[in-house]
Amino acid sequence: MDDLKSSFLSTVSHELRTPLTSILGFTHMIQKKLEQRVAPVVPTDDSKAMKALAQIRGNLKIMNSEGRRLTDLINNVLDLHRMESDLIVWSEEEIDMQTVLGHAGAACSILFMDKPGVAFSQDISPDLPPVIGDTQRLIQVVINLLSNAAKFTENGAVALEAARYVEPDGIAGVQICVSDTGPGIAETDIDAVFDHFRQVGDVHQKTVGSGLGLSISRKIVQSHGGRIWVESELGVGSRFYFRIPAQPLPASARA
């Protein structure tokens, strides 16, 4: 049954990705031609023509955005399936978490450019110990958390913090925290935050995603021998934490 499911997901994902790639490619080409050939010759004193141009630009932007969102959803479904089926080969290399956090912070800084009412800050301790793991997957976790914080915060602040921690048994590692001043999460919804295809709260007031980002993040963190959790209060905001030990637990002992 697992082999059949894997084959089905691989085939469907391929069949969906091929037309999506074409759609995104043609959308980009149309956007480019519109700005290069059409926009310059539209009379600026023709209000109807200018309005039509603006509508076309808006529609193309939506097509591009929705196409990329659908592509991300396909990739997330496949990622989650591979992780749950142990089909992913994890890299195991010494990682400088300063590099991971710097990359993720730079990648997400653009998300706050369209939100002047949201301040983005970073507080990274200089004494973070190196960890062993998959660099790209850990970057993915931080980007997922920052993207969610940016998506659901309209005013206030989003912060990325990192510090060294030491467990009572002496195990050291890196603790990451992404905090926001968004709507917060009700106590009754806390346990469902990391479930597949779940978005808690009033999704009609938010940009709806796939509901897989946090679930995938949990899988990645657990595969590194770490743990992830959230503390939140309605109307105040949320703080998402995850810890990665400097020396990962044996695979048999991971959550």
- 148: pLDDT confidence band, cut at 50, 70 and 90? very high
Alpha-carbon gap, residue 116 to 111, rounded angstroms: 10
Q: Which pLDDT tens digit goes with each residue over 53-104?
A: 999 999 998 888 778 777 777 776 777 677 776 667 778 899 999 999 999 9
Per-residue tokens: 107: 């990648």
Alpha-carbon gap, residue 3 to 220, rounded angstroms: 23
CB atoms within 10 A of CB 77: 19
Entry pTM: 0.71
Q: Which pLDDT tens digit goes with each residue over 209-244?
A: 556 789 889 999 999 999 999 999 999 999 999 999
Alpha-carbon gap, residue 187 to 184, rounded angstroms: 9
- In this prediction, residue 217 carries a pLDDT of 92
Beta strand 93-95 with 131-133: parallel, antiparallel or unpaired? antiparallel
User: Quick one: average pLDDT of 128-133?
Assistant: 93
